[in-house]
Structure formats: structure tokens, C-alpha cells
Amino acid sequence: MTTVTTDAPITPLRERMQHDMMMRGLGRHTQQDYIRHVRRFAAFLERPPDTATEEDIRRFQLSQHERGVSASTINGAVSALRFLFAATLGRKDLARALVIIRYRRKLPDVLSVEEAAQLLEAAPGIKYKAALGVAYGAGLRVSEVAHLKVDDIDSTRMLIRVEQGKGGKDRNAMLSPQLLELLRMWWREGKRRNVMLPHGWLFPGRSYTDPVSTRQLHRAVQEAAEVAGIRKRVSPHTLRHSFATHLLEQDVDIRVIQVLLGHSKLETTALYTKVSTRTIHAVAGPLERLTALMAERTACRPAEPCRPRSRSPIFSAPLVPPIGPPMPGTSASSSSRSCRRSSNAGPRRSAAISRPARTAAIGASPTTAAVTVTAPSARALRRAHGLKPARPTFSRSAISTSSSPCPPRSPTSRSTTRRPSMISCSGRPRQRC
């Protein structure tokens, strides 16, 4: 593991911190990030960082929030300063004073299959087309694509060997026949240009002894996206996201995708289940089920004729058609309708008033037979059950006859004077007050 060298004079504190990072096996880019964050902290204090206090750390983090620094940058500075105070200076009390930010991870942008094809076709040259094809066809990171060697392509086993990937891990990636043919096209073109060494880099940079830089790959992707007319925010890592999402939409096991991507935790790979369109479209919403159920009920419901609704049980029994011709200018249907209107137009009778029977006589002429439907009264029902008949509580006036063709109902003459009861509820005689 190499240390980071700069043109500026190295102070004893920086040299000690670099040695601590080298002994702990931190990567080259991690060392550069830690040194940069410590340098910014020293510039804020305007004195060496080993003289900092808890109040200085608090003011530094408050200034970051006030300047609108992103959460990832703040957390990177926290990691660097924690390493400085805990590992190099042995001040764990200052390391505990640093506060990290919890932020929600955003969903990545994913290209469709058609957009991925357009992006590869618009790549500037066969070299970048092959490099982007490896990023999309094998799901490699941009740093892993840049550091591939010719010997890493195993056409016999159809594998791509990734050495010292993220976290210093080795793994095997998939190699499809279409990707192998694309790499062979670039191999022949590189041999023709004399830029391919026998055991050198698969994608050399400006110097044949150095690999292509990740910045060059970023520029190639942005240029290809502009030519293809893709308005999404595209980067080489977008092709890796698209690789995992498209495999998930093809019903590939998520654990297989985890191995191909080189993820240590399954939770990291499970992020692609949130952006997989096939997974979302496969779920039937409750509104669709409700709509289908209503349509099925409407299709299976038989057509029923409209029936008139009666207000009284008198008209629930079927009526015998009249015998003989109706009166001139009056039909049987109109006569029954007028009877129903006249009976409904009369005053409502209380249930406390008992009648021997309720009679509805329908007749249009002397030659028309009257049909009588009799229903048991409340008094009869009380007698049948062995109960005493209820007395009327108020007077009822006689019903005036109308001009209806139906025969008028005879009013019931009954005394409306309420008499005091001489028998109590218990059946014993009581004295009149």
C-alpha cells in the first residue's frame, strides 16, 4: 500500500496520520479524502488541528451546515476527523463530539433497454463502446472497467475476473457472447493501432502503460447521452444500476445479482426492487379488482321489470280483474290508479285506533264486481293473544267523501271522551281521585 505524496511540505502530524492509514490498509483514494478534509479543518481553525477543542469542532460543523454543504461531504469530514483524533492523536473524547447526518438514500436513475442500446450506439469510438458495454453487460464499476487487463477475459469459462475491486475484493463477473464479440472487435482494432500490449491494460489511456482514467469514461458517457437524446442524468454507474434492474425484471434471483455485483449485504442489492418496473406492474391494485368485480356483477345481473311499490299491505294481494265493461271514459287501470291515489291522500290513522277490519272496495260501476281484501285488525290480534283491547287516545273526525270513483270509507263513530280507568296495571281496583 502506497502513501499519498504532495508537493507541499509534510508536517510531522500529517506524516504520522499517513503512516496510521497505511498500517490499517486504507485505500489510496480514502487517504486522499482524509488528508483533504483535515486540511480544510486546519484552514478553518487557522492553527494546527491537534490543538482543537470540542467548541472548535462544534463551530466547524455549524459552519458546514450554514454554507449548505452536502450530507455526504459532512459525513466524509466526520470520518476523517474521527480517524485523526481517535487513531493518530488518541483523543477519543473529541472523536465522540463529531455528529454525522442521517439522510435518506435516493433511488438511482435507470435506463430502459432501448435507451441503453441507444447509448452504446452513440459511444464515441469502438474503444468506449466496448468499455461501456462491459459496464452494462457485466455490471462492473467504472474503476473496475478502467483497470481491466487483457488476461482478465476468460473466453473459455465465459467469465471476467475482477481483481482488487471495491474493498480490495476479487470476484468473477459474467461474460455474454455478445460482449465477447464486442471485446474481440476492440482487440483487433487496438492491435491495428499498436496500442494493445500482450499482457497490458484492456483499455489503455493516452499512455499505453497507464489505464484509461475514470474521468475519460465519464465524459464519454455524457457525450453519448447527449448524442442519443437521453435527458436523464447518466453516468457510468447508471449502466451498473440498469444491469441489476434489468436482471431483476427477468426474474433472476436477487442473491445471484448480489454475487454478480459484489455486494456484501443483501440490503444493498434489495434497493433495485424499488426501481424495477416489472415488479411494480406485477402487483394488481385494489381499485382494479373492485372495477372488475363491479363489471362482473353488472354482466351477470338479469333484467328485472319495474314493479310499483305499495305503501299498504292492502294492495299487496293480487286484484281480480273487473267483470264487465268499465264506465265510459274510464279504464280499469286508471280506476285502480285513482283508487290508490285517493286512499293514499286520506289522513293517516294511528295504530292505537282499532277497527274490526280494513276494507278496500274497488268498483267502477254497478256492473263491476267489488273486490274486498280484509286484514286482521289490532283488536283482533290482541284478543287472539289474550291481551286487553287498547282504548282510543284521541278523537278521529269523519272522512269526507271525495270525487274519486272508489266508494268512500265509512267513518267509525266512537266516543272520544277519555274515561278514567278504575283498574290498575296489577289488576287490583283503585280508588278514584
pLDDT score at 416 = 45
Residue 167 and residue 109: Cα distance in Å, rounded? 24
Residue intervals of the chain classified under CATH 1.10.150 are 12-96
What CATH number was assigned to the domain covering residues 113-281? 1.10.443.10
Residue of 157, 158, 129, 121 whose CA lies nearest to 145: 129
Percent of the chain whose pLDDT exceeds 70: 67
Q: Is the pLDDT of residue 424 over 60?
A: no
Percent of the chain whose pLDDT exceeds 90: 43
Residue of 125, 79, 85, 134 whose CA lies nearest to 101: 79
Residue of 157, 19, 169 whose CA lies nearest to 83: 19
H or E element, residue 12 = helix 12-23
Q: Is the pLDDT of residue 61 over 50?
A: yes
pLDDT score at 350 = 41
Q: Which residues share a beta bridge with 154?
A: 159
Residue of 3, 19, 94, 9 whose CA lies nearest to 49: 94
Range in 35-49, 156-170, 268-282, 314-328 with the lowest mean pLDDT: 314-328
CB atoms within 10 A of CB 407: 14
User: Which residue is associated with the grid cell 289488576?
Assistant: 427
Q: Which residues share a beta bridge with 159?
A: 154, 174
User: Which residue is associated with the grid cell 280494513?
Assistant: 358
User: Which residue is associated with the grid cell 470540542?
Assistant: 54
Count of positions (residues) in the chain = 433
pLDDT score at 320 = 44
Catalytic residues: 141, 166, 237, 240, 263, 272
Residue 286 and residue 294: Cα distance in Å, rounded? 12
Q: What average pLDDT score do residues 306-317 get?
A: 48
Residue 229 and residue 283: Cα distance in Å, rounded? 32
Q: What average pLDDT score do residues 62-86 get?
A: 94
User: Which residue is associated with the grid cell 483514494?
Assistant: 29
C-alpha 269, offset from chain centre: 19
pLDDT score at 142 = 93
Place 160 in a pLDDT band, splitting at 50, 70 and 90: very high
Going by the DSSP 8-state scheme, the letter that residue 83 receives in this structure is I
Range in 57-71, 196-210, 225-239, 329-343 with the lowest mean pLDDT: 329-343
Q: What average pLDDT score do residues 397-410 get?
A: 48
Question: CA 221, 225, 229 angle in degrees (round to 5)?
Answer: 175
Q: What average pLDDT score do residues 119-123 get?
A: 92
Residue 161 in contact with residue 115, Cβ under 8 Å?
no
Cell of 196: 494493445
Range in 121-135, 138-152, 173-187, 314-328 with the lowest mean pLDDT: 314-328
Residue of 123, 112, 113 whose CA lies nearest to 228: 123
pLDDT score at 224 = 93
More confident residue, 400 or 100: 100
More confident residue, 197 or 80: 80
Residue 254 exposed, middle or buried by CB count within 10 Å (0-12, 13-18, 19+): middle
pLDDT score at 367 = 42
Residue 248 and residue 56: Cα distance in Å, rounded? 48
Helices (H), 123-270: 126-138, 142-146, 177-193, 214-228, 236-249, 254-261, 266-269
CB atoms within 10 A of CB 87: 16
Please report, in angstroms and rounded to a whole number, the separation of the first and last CA atoms in the chain.
Answer: 118
Class of domain 12-96: mainly alpha
Helices (H), 104-176: 113-121, 126-138, 142-146
Residue 407 and residue 370: Cα distance in Å, rounded? 10
pLDDT score at 363 = 42
Place 164 in a pLDDT band, splitting at 50, 70 and 90: confident
Q: What average pLDDT score do residues 241-257 get?
A: 90
Residue 410 and residue 355: Cα distance in Å, rounded? 11
Helices (H), 67-108: 71-82, 92-96
Average pLDDT for the chain: 76
H or E element, residue 335 = helix 332-345
Q: Is the pLDDT of residue 162 over 70?
A: yes
Range in 236-245, 298-307, 375-384 with the lowest mean pLDDT: 298-307
Residue 270 and residue 265: Cα distance in Å, rounded? 9
Contacts for 399-406: CB closer than 8 Å, 24+ residues apart? 399/346, 399/347, 402/342, 402/345, 404/338, 404/339, 404/341, 404/342, 405/327, 405/330, 405/335, 405/338, 405/339, 405/364, 406/335, 406/338, 406/339, 406/342, 406/343, 406/361, 406/362, 406/363
Range in 230-244, 371-385, 387-401 with the lowest mean pLDDT: 387-401
Residue intervals of the chain classified under CATH 1.10.443.10 are 113-281
